[in-house]
Each structure stands twice: as structure tokens, then as C-alpha cells.
Homo-oligomer: A and B are copies of this chain.
Amino acid sequence: MVAPDEAPFLLACRRRPSPHVPVWFMRQAGRALPEYRARRGSGSILEAIHQPELVAELTLQPVRRYGVDAAILFSDIVVPVAAIGFGVDVVPGTGPVVTEPFRSKEDLGRLRPLEPEEDTPYVVEAVRQLASELSVPLIGFAGAPFTVASYLIEGGPSRSHARTKALMHAEPSTWWALLDALADLALASLRSQVRAGAQAVQLFDSWAGALSAVDYAELVLPVTRRIFDGLADLDVPRIHFGVGTGELLGLMAEAGPDVVGVDWRVPIDVAWSRIGEDKAVQGNLDPAVCLAPWDVVETETRKILNQAGGRPGHVFNLGHGVLPDTDPAILERVVELVHNA
């Protein structure tokens, strides 16, 4: 465990002055790293995360390589639903695939509460190991109800989220029951990760940006708020993130996180004013920019630092996950630049 008063990442999440702007990268543990490909092998991520020592190693790799200010547990947002037996796998190159998608209220019976110590002991064990080994805070995470619901209902990744939206509008009572069950899973998982040593949590509502503000406010926000409220007593920073959420940033802030993550579509100063000065912000370099030569990456990184203006409460990150073709050397230089800015 890292002393909270000394970790730049935790200080920034609390909007307290920090010796440098902290930085980490979504999906920093993963395909861009040769040492990851060497250790990971093939097969589903769900098999890999059953091995706490492997998970600890994959989580540590980017901390060693990049010198980032936080580690994020190597895991996946569908781990809890998979662990309670909903029938989910994560297919390499595709993403989560659900054998029998959620179709009607009868499928609610296929969901049950998560007992983290029994259902995902390997997650708890990996977090414990990491908490004792890490020199930077560990971020635990979970998928937010809307995004996980979309995978369950669509049966896999979707561009339109059409069935999800249809259910949401057509069968509100089923929708709320599903979201409540998924909120309970996220809450149980996040609380267990914090109890095991995670010093911050991130709730990924990756696809919430597919919704209009009205639908988000009426049909998603209330359960998200319940999750953040349910974490308040743990006294760890709570981060909330989704892509394409320019229209939703104010509402996502209302849901109660301490930090709101922002993608590259909105300049970070504009995003911050939508989120509110009483929250910290995280972001927002376009991961695709990291495929360009260094001088381009440098210009874009400096632009973001300037926009954030050196105010306490900025956690530097990408606007979405690291892309597989990224040169790790570029990310190393981003960390160096952010730390020395």
C-alpha cells in the first residue's frame, strides 16, 4: 500500500497539489507490450485472470516499463457476470461474447449476487499480492450497468446498442431490475477490490455516449449514483469514464464520482467546465495520436497540459485504451514529458 498523502495520482484525484501531473494509461497492461505477449499466451482473458501470479505480473509490467503513477488491475469488465455463470467469454479480437443473450425478464433469473471471496477468489488474491508489491496505487475497476447490460443484451460488441435501447424503452421494469442486479455486481466487486488493497476505483461506462442526455439521466444515472454512493465509506477516489460522452459530462459528474474521465473529442478545459471545478478530470490524449511520430505526440501532449493549466486535479491519461499497434517507447516518452512539464 502506498501512503495516500505521497502518491501524486491520489493527490490529483483529491484535487490536492502534487509534485507532478500524474499519468497512467487505460489498457496500459496489454497488447502493446512485447513482455505482455511473451507472458500472456493465447486463450481467453478469462482464463488468464484465474492465475493471480500472472495477473500480478501483467499488472506490474507497464509500471516498470512506463513509470506510470498508477497500476490498474489486469482484468475485464465482464468478470463478475462471467463468474456468476451468465455464460460470457472474451474472444480475442472481438470482445465479450454472450452465449445466450439477455432477451426478457425471464433472464433476470440467470443473475445472482456476487460473493467475491467465493466467486472470484483469484481476483481478490491478485489484488492482495499487488498491494504488497506495488510502489504506486492500484486502481480496481468494474463495468457500469449500462455498458455491461449492452453486452448481455446484444450478445457482444455493438455499434447501435439497438436491442439494449429497445428494452430500456419498452420494458422499464425489466430494465431497472437488470441494471440493479448489475449495479450490485459492480458494487460487490469494487468493494472487495478495495478491501484487498486497491486504492482507487474506476467505473467504466464505456458505451454510455451512445445515449441521449435525457435517456442517460432518466434510465442510467440513478443506478450509477447508487454505485458511487455505495463506495463513499471506503474513502478511495472514484473515477467514472466513458467514450463520446461530451454531452453527458455534467450528468456523469452528478452521479457522484471524484474524477471524471474524458475522451479527446472535448478539449480538457471545456470538459472540466462541464464537469465542474469541484471534481478532478482524467484524460485526454487521442490514443490514435500515439501511432504518429513523436513530434506530433509531443505537441498534442503539451496542448492538453496547457489546457489543463497546471491546476491541481488533472490526471493525465489517454482518451480511451492504448491501441495494440502503439510503440511502447512513445508512451514512455509521454510519461517523461508529463512528469517534467
A265 touches B212 (CB 8 A): yes
Residues from chain B with Cβ under 8 Å of A165 in the complex? 286, 288-289, 291-292
Q: Identify which of B211, B247, B286, B325 contacts A246 (C-beta below 8 A).
A: B247
A279 → B minimal CB distance (Å) = 20
> How many A residues, CB 8 Å from partner?
33
Q: Which secondary structure characterizes the binding site on chain A?
A: helix
B288 touches A161 (CB 8 A): yes
How many identical chains are in the complex?
Answer: 2
A285 → B minimal CB distance (Å) = 10
Give Cα A296–Cα B169 distance, bound, in whole angstroms. 7
Given the contacts A246-B246, A265-B212, A162 and B296 also touching, CB distance less than 8 Å: no
Judged by a CB distance under 8 angstroms, whether A67 is at the interface is: no
Give Cα A267–Cα B211 distance, bound, in whole angstroms. 11
Within 8 A of B (CB), among A131-177: 160-166, 169-170
Judged by a CB distance under 8 angstroms, whether A293 is at the interface is: yes
Q: Identify which of B160, B246, B265, B287 contacts A288 (C-beta below 8 A).
A: B160
Residues from chain B with Cβ under 8 Å of A214 in the complex? 267
Judged by a CB distance under 8 angstroms, whether A122 is at the interface is: no
Residues from chain B with Cβ under 8 Å of A169 in the complex? 289, 292, 296, 300
B166 touches A292 (CB 8 A): yes
A209 touches B288 (CB 8 A): no
B293 touches A170 (CB 8 A): yes
Q: Identify which of B211, B212, B325 contacts A162 (C-beta below 8 A).
A: B325
B246 touches A296 (CB 8 A): no
Nearest B-chain residue to A284, judged by Cβ: B212
